[in-house]
Chains A and B, each alone.
Chain A
Amino acid sequence: EAGVTQSPTHLIKTRGQQATLRCSPISGHTSVYWYQQALGLGLQFLLWYDEGEERNRGNFPPRFSGRQFPNYSSELNVNALELEDSALYLCASSLAGNRNTEAFFGQGTRLTVV
């Protein structure tokens, strides 16, 4: 069974540009979570999508946005990129909206803003 897959693995963008990161959850999982891991920091919760709807977002500016498609895959968009957006972006999936069910992570997308 395929795990959570993220693309691209690496992404280099210029300050001010937009970045689009993609995530395919495990088959049968309807919840997708996005986390940011900046250098030297822990994972910071970004966004949660379930059944196509944004359910919650972390303490990030509105230029971080995303969506979830009917097949439950998800996209994270970061507009007006800033240097401090350089980080590892991790996507996780779990069964629908159930607390304390295991979340499975993808390998991440390393975004570098120059």
Chain B
Amino acid sequence: DQQVKQNSPSLSVQEGRISILNCDYTNSMFDYFLWYKKYPAEGPTFLISISSIKDKNEDGRFTVFLNKSAKHLSLHIVPSQPGDSAVYFCAASAWYNAGNMLTFGGGTRLMVKP
């Protein structure tokens, strides 16, 4: 039973346009959400996070939106750059999780075309 789902395995966007990556979750106990980016042959690197007390968090070109009622979050990248081409993982943490245990989605491969 997947508690975090990324329904789009891949996304192709033109350079300069907006990339929108989506993530849905089922566990209402999740209260902290993160996005990680992964290049081939490298480990995932942290990108941006959001607490459930917020509905938006912005960091430069990256903005994460959280819709708690819909159990949905999205990552917006504006403007998209070829270097953003990577696999993006959505992850969540429940309030009862001690430490930093995360539940990950299956990932979305983003391709930004020059």
Interface set of A (CB-CB < 8 Å, partner B): 4, 31, 33, 35, 40-45, 48, 50, 55-56, 90, 92, 94, 97-108
- Known contacts: A42-B4, A42-B89, A43-B89. The answer to whether A31 contacts B100 by CB under 8 A is yes
Among B42-50, B55-63, B74-82, the stretch that binds chain A is B42-50
Interface size class, chain B: 20 to 34
* A45 touching B99, Cβ below 8 Å: no
A102 to B43, CA, bound (A): 14
Contact residues of B with A, CB < 8 Å? Answer: 2, 4, 6, 32, 36, 41-46, 49, 51, 89, 91, 93, 97-107
Cβ contact within 8 Å between A107 and B41: yes
Known: A42-B106, A43-B44, A90-B43. A100 touches B101 (CB 8 A): no
If A42-B89, A90-B44, A105-B45 touch, whether A99 touches B104 (CB-CB below 8 Å) is no
Q: Which 3 A-B pairs have the closest CB atoms?
A: A105-B43, A42-B104, A43-B104
Query: Which residue, of A90, A92, A94, has the highest number of chain B Cβ atoms within 10 A?
Result: A92
Cross-chain contact A40 with B101 (CB below 8 angstroms): no
What is the distance, in angstroms, from A90's C-beta to the closest C-beta of chain B? 6
Contact B32 A103 (CB under 8 A): no
Q: Which of B97, B100, B102 is most buried by chain A, counting CB atoms within 10 A of its CB?
A: B100
CB–CB B97/A99 < 8 A? yes
Q: Told that A42-B105, A45-B101, A100-B32 touch, could you supply 14 new A-B pairs with CB distance under 8 A?
A: A33-B101, A40-B106, A42-B89, A43-B44, A45-B102, A45-B103, A48-B100, A92-B100, A94-B99, A97-B98, A103-B102, A105-B43, A106-B43, A107-B42
